[in-house]
Each structure stands twice: as C-alpha cells, then as structure tokens.
Amino acid sequence: MSKLHLVFGGRVSDPRTLDFEDLSSIEIVGVFPDYASAEKAWRAAAQRTVDDAEMKYVVVHLHRLLEPDLLKPGAKD
C-alpha cells in the first residue's frame, strides 16, 4: 500500500489549534506519494501565507487513516 499524504489548509480561528473557520473554503493542495514531497508542497503553501497568522496548512498521513494497523508505534513513515 502506498503511503499517501494529504496537504490542505485554511483559515483557523486560533493559530494554536486546527479549528478551521470555514470548511467549505479549505484549500486542498494535493495528495502525495511520500512525506518528502508532501512536506515540500506544505512548505510552499505555508510560505505563500507566511504573513497571515490565521492561515494554517497541515500534512495528513492518509495511510494511517486507511490502515492504522499497518504501522506499529515508533515506525517511521
């Protein structure tokens, strides 16, 4: 199984949380086959909005959601 990674972001109500204000305006940056390419896309998206503290982008490990038993605690992505 591929280790898919989703990168998305949007405006949050508090920069210390992941409480997105408007789920309909979430920006999907893309789905990536490995963490390195997802991180590169995340950095590019975050850099575009570096001056806006209420914009936040995240990397989600889709393979962990799809098959949580595949990875043992402490295993590297």
pLDDT, tens digit, for every residue of 15-27? 899 999 999 999 9
CA separation for the pair 27, 40 (Å, rounded): 16
pLDDT tens-place string over residues 36-75: 999 999 999 999 999 998 999 999 998 777 776 766 666 5
User: Which residue shows structure tokens 């405006």?
Assistant: 11
pTM for this prediction: 0.80
Phi and psi at 2, nearest 5°, equal -70, 150
CB 53 within 8 A of CB 9: no
Give the DSSP letter of residue 5.
E
